[in-house]
Structure 1
Amino acid sequence: MRELAEGLKDRGYGVTVVTSYPQHNLADNNKNFYFDRITMEDEIEVLRIKTISPHIANYFLRGISQVILPYFFLYNVKKFIKHRIDVVVVYSPPLPLAVAGRKIRDLYGAKYILNVQDLFPQNAIDLGILKNNMLIRYFEYMEKEAYSQADTIAVHSENNKIYLNERKGVLQDRIRVIHNWIDIEPYSKVMRTGRFRKMFNIENKFIFLFAGVIGPSQGLDLIIKAARKIKDVKDICFLIVGDGMEKKRLLKMAEEYSLENVIFKPFVSKDEYPELVKDADVGLVCLSSMNKTPVIPGKILGYMAASIPVVAFLNKESDGHQIIKDADCGYSEISDSVEKVAATIKKIYNERNRLKEYGENGFSYVQENFERNVCINRLEEIF
C-alpha cells in the first residue's frame, strides 16, 4: 500500500491513505511511539483509525472486528477528509472494507476499484477456519455485493480472473489483472553480508529461508516433517523467520522430533528484510494443499528480487507454479507429500552449481514483469 501511494504521488497525484494504527510486530523503539490521527508523510496524507487488532487469536472476535471495521473507516473519512476524491482503491481482505469503498464512492462521486488479494470467504472455508453455515452464507452474500458494486475489480493473476468469472459470475470486462509488484531497489542496494548468518550462528550452513506469517494457510508442517527426513544432511539448515498462530505448535513439533536443523527466529524489520533474504541460499515458500484458490505468495517475488533461487510447495491451484516455471528460478511442487518436499530440497541442494543461474533468472523475470512502475502503469489505466 505504501509503495502504491508513493508511486502515485511521484506521478503527480494527490494521495490520501486511510489505515489503522500500527499494532503488530513493531520494533522495540517504536512500541511507545505516538502517531497523530492525520499526518503528512513524504507529501502523502495519512489518516489513521483506531480499530480492534486484526491479529487477535480468537477467530470469533477477529470476525466481529472485521464486520465493524468499515464503519470506523467511513466515520473517520467523513469527519476528516473534506477535499475531492476522484478514485478510491480498497484492498480486500478484509472483505467488509468493500462496504466503506462503496459508500465513499457514493458520497464523493469517486470511481471505486476493489483490489482482491485473497478470495475470502472461500480460502477460510478451505482451511477449515470458517465452518458456521450462517456465517458462511453471510460472508458469501457480502462477497457477492462487493463484486457487484465495485466499478472495477483488480486481481493479481489470470486464474484469479477466471475464478471470479466462472465461480462468482463477475463479467470479464469488469475484471483487470494487475500483478502485485515488488520494489527491487531495496534488494539492489544491499549485498550478502553474512550478518544474519553470524547472528544466528549458522555461518557455514546451506540455508533454506522461510520468512513471513506462520499460519494455517502456510502448512509449514510439511517443512518440519521434511527436515526430520533429511536431518542426516548436516549441512542443511531451515531458517524460519516470522510469527503467527501456528508458530508455537510448530516449535513444539520441532522439539519433539529433536531437530537441530530447524531454527525459529522472530520477524525482522522491513529495512532489514532484504539483507536477511540475501544471506540465504534458497528462498522457501509453502502453502497448504487445503487452499483451493489461485494464491500467489508475495514472498516469491521478494526472493526473486534478491536474486536467490526459489523452492515452493504450493496448492495445485496456485499461479505461483507458473511464475517459477516461466522464470526458471527454481522448483515448485504440489504441497501434498513430505517425501516430495524432502526430495526437492535435496535436489536443489545437490545443484549448488546452478544457484547463481536460478537467482539471476528470477531477478530478470521480476524486473520485467513485477517491477513497481510496470504494475502501477496498468493500474493507472483504469483510473
Structure 2
Amino acid sequence: MKKKIWLWNHYATDMYDNRGGRHYWFAENLIKQGYEVTIFCANTYHNKSEFIDVGNKKYTTDTIDSIPFVFVKTAPALGNGIDRVKNMGLFYLNIFNVAKDYIKYNGKPDVIIASSVHPLTMVAGIQMANRLKIPCICEVRDLWPEAIFSFNKAKEKSLLGRVLTTGEHWIYKKADALIFTKEGDTDYILEKKWDIKQGGDIDLNKCHYINNGVDLENFELTADINTFVDKDLDTNKFNVIYVGAIRPVNNIGNILDAAKILIAEDDIQFLIYGDGNEKEMLETRVREEKLTNVKMKGFVNKKTIPFILSKSSVNILNYSSTKYNWSRGNSSNKLFEYMASGKPIISTVKMGYSIIKKYNCGIELENSTPKELANAIIDIKNLSSTEYDLIARNAKNGAKDFDFKKLTLKLIDIIESVDKSKEKEVL
C-alpha cells in the first residue's frame, strides 16, 4: 500500500508556478518511488501581490505533473512588516481546518514533512501529526531565530528573542526527525547544549542532513530549450557571471570593486543577472564610475539560468562575510546550479563544511576583498586548459551527489525510519 506523504511549505506556491524547486522535485521523485505526495502551501506568492483565488473557501487544489497542490487561504504580504506576520499567522490558523477537510476526501497521511522558512509551519505540522498519531519530520532550511539576530531585527536576550529561542527548542524536541540543509547545522544544537550528551533533551540521532540541490536532468534540458539572445554571452570574452538576488547580504558592490581593478583587462567582462533592493544603486555606480566591463542585466526568468551559466567562464558565489554565519556550510540553490553548469566557482567567503573545497571545484577567498577577488579571477583565467577542465569536471561530477534523485533516497530513509519508530511507540 502506498504511503501518503504531506509536504507543508508555506512558500511552495512559487514551485507550483515554476514547476521546479526543492519540494517539487522531492514530490516528483517520491511519486516515482511509489509514494502518494501532496504539497500544502499558501495561496499567495512570496513578495508578490498576485495570488491563487480560493473564492469563499479556505483552500483550493490543483494538480500539475501528477503532484497535487493544496493552496491554503492567506493574505498577500509585501515586505517584512505586519502584513508578513499576518500572512504567516493565517497560514498557521487555516491549515488545521484545511487538513481536516482534505482528510475527509483523501484519507489521512502516514507522515507530515513540515518545512520552514518560518517556524509556524513546523509548529502546525507537529500539532497536526500529534492529533493524527503519525510522525512529523521538521525540515529546518534556515536557522530561526539566529538569522533574525544576525540581521539585528531582534536581540537574542530580549523578550522576543527568548520566546523565539524557546519555540525553536520546542520544535527540535517534539519533531520525530529533523532535516537540516547545511551539514554543520547540528553544531548549533551542540553550541546551545541542547543535546542529550550535554544534559539536554534532543537526540542527535534524529538529526539528518539533506542539502539543497539540483535536478540535473531538468537543468540540462532547460539549458538546451530555454535559450535567449544576449550578445554579451556570445562574445569570446572571459565571462565572469553572477546570477541571483542583489541585496546587502549578496554584497554585489564587491564585484564592482573587483571589476574596477580589472578595467584594463579588455577580454574580461562581468555579467550580473538578478534583481533586488540594491540594483538601482549599483547601476548608478556602473554609470558614474564608467565601469564599461560590467553589464547589469536585471531580472531574468529562472528557466533561462542554465543557459546563461552554460556561457560563463567562471561563476561568482558572492556574499557578505559579516552578515551571515557561514561556519556551518552553504545551502544556496545557486551553488548547485553553478556546479551543474560545469564551470569553476569563486566564493567570496570561506565556508565551513566547504562543498567547493570537498569537490575541488573552485576557489574560496580568505578575506573577501576586491583585490583578492580580482586576483582569483585572473588565476582562473590563466589556468591551462587541462587545469581548467579538471576543475570544471569536478564541479559537474560533484553536482551528481546533489541531484534530487539521490537526495530523495536520503529523504525516503528518514521517512521509513520515523514511520517504524512511530509504529513501535503505538505498540
The alignment's TM-score, normalised by the length of structure 1, stands at 0.87
In the alignment, which of 152, 156, 179 is matched to residue 154 of structure 1?
179
Is the contact between residue 286 and residue 335 of structure 1 (CA under 8 Å) also seen in structure 2?
no
Cα displacement (A) at 1:192: 7.5
Distance, in Å, in 1 between the alignment partners of 2:226 and 2:96 is 47
How far residue 5 of structure 1 moved from its aligned partner, in angstroms, is 0.5
- Within the candidate set 375, 378, 392, 1:359 is matched to 392
- Partner residue of 2:41? 19
Indicate how the Cα distance of structure 1 residues 193 and 71 shifts in structure 2: closer, same or farther if over 3 A, else same: closer
Distance in 2, Cα, partners of 1:43 & 1:332: 41
Q: Does residue 71 of structure 1 match 2:104?
A: no
Q: 1:331 aligns with which of 363, 367, 371?
A: 363
CA distance 1:25–1:70, shift in 2 (3 Å) = closer
In structure 2, the CA distance between the partners of 1:86 and 1:327, relative to structure 1 (3 Å rule), is same
Within-5 A mapping of 1:1-383 = 1-21=23-43, 23=45, 37-53=60-76, 56-59=78-81, 61-82=83-104, 83-131=107-155, 133-167=158-192, 169=194, 170-189=202-221, 196=228, 198-200=230-232, 203-290=235-322, 291-293=324-326, 294-296=328-330, 297-314=332-349, 316-319=350-353, 322-334=354-366, 336-351=368-383, 353=385, 354-367=387-400, 369-383=401-415
C-alpha change, 1:288 and 1:128, in structure 2 (3 Å) is farther
- Higher mean alpha-carbon deviation, 94-103 vs 191-200, is at 191-200
Q: Secondary structure at the match of 1:233?
A: coil
Using the TM superposition, give the Cα deviation of residue 2 of structure 1 relative to its aligned residue in structure 2, in angstroms: 0.3
Q: CA deviation at 1:67?
A: 4.4
Deviation at 1:85, TM superposition (A): 0.9
Instruction: Kindly state the Cα deviation for residue 223 of structure 1 after the two structures are TM-superposed.
Output: 1.5
Distance in 2, matches of 1:362 and 1:375, equals: 17
Q: Which amino acid aligns with 1:127?
A: F
What letter matches 1:161 in structure 2?
T
> 1:8 corresponds to which letter in structure 2?
L
Mark the runs of 5 or more structure 1 residues left unpaired by the alignment. none
CA distance in 2, matches of 1:168, 1:327: 32
Kindly indicate whether the alpha-carbon contact (under 8 Å) linking 2:47 and 2:79 is maintained by their aligned counterparts in 1: no
What secondary structure does 1:240 align onto?
A: strand
Contact 1:155 1:161 in 2 (8 A): yes
3-state SS of paired residue (1:243)? coil
The offset of 1:137, in angstroms, is: 2.7
The 1-side partners of 2:301 and 2:37 are apart by 25
Contact between 2:222 and 2:304, CA under 8 Å: does it hold in 1? Answer: no
Report the RMSD for the aligned CA atoms in angstroms.
2.8
Deviations 1:92-141 (A, max 9, x none): 21222112111221232221111111112212322334458343333222
Q: Tell me: CA distance 1:246–1:141, structure 2 relative to 1, closer, same or farther (3 Å).
A: farther
1:357/1:250 CA distance change after superposition, 3 Å: same
In structure 2, relative to structure 1, the CA distance for the partners of 1:340 and 1:64 (3 Å cut) is farther
Q: Determine helix, strand or coil for the equivalent of 1:217.
A: helix
Contact kept in structure 2, 1:211 and 1:242, CA below 8 Å = yes
Q: How many residues align?
A: 374
- Name the SS for the 1:382 alignment partner: helix
Residue 18 of structure 2: aligned partner: none
TM-score for both structures, normalised by structure 2: 0.79
Structure with greater Cα Rg: 2
253-262 or 128-137: bigger deviation = 128-137
Shift of 1:318: 4.0
- The one-letter code of the counterpart of 2:152 is G
Could you say what secondary structure the match of 2:109 adopts? coil
| SS in structure 2 at match of 1:288 | coil
**Which is further off, 210-219 or 275-284?**
210-219
Aligned mates of 1:24, 1:263 — CA distance in 2: 27
Point out where structure 2 has 5 or more consecutive residues left out of the alignment: 1-22, 195-201, 416-427
- Tell me if the contact between 2:238 and 2:313 (Cα under 8 Å) persists in the aligned partners: yes
2:112–2:137 CA contact under 8 A, matched in 1? yes
Shift of 1:152: 0.6
Quick one: percent identity of the two aligned structures? 26
Distance, in Å, in 2 between the alignment partners of 1:161 and 1:33 is 37
1 CA distance for matches of 2:348 and 2:226?
27
Asked if 2 retains the 8 angstrom alpha-carbon contact of 1:222 and 1:338, the reply is yes
**For 1:234-264, what per-residue CA distance to the aligned partner results, in whole angstroms no more than 9, with x for missing partners?**
2222222122233333333333433222222
Deviations 1:178-234 (A, max 9, x none): 232321112333667995563557623321221122223222222222222222222
Separation of aligned partners in 2, 1:185 and 1:201: 23
Distance in 2 between residues matched to 1:71 and 1:144, nearest whole Å = 21
Kindly indicate whether the alpha-carbon contact (under 8 Å) linking 2:40 and 2:72 is maintained by their aligned counterparts in 1.
yes
**1:345-369 deviations in whole A, cap 9, x for unaligned?**
22212226333322111111221x2
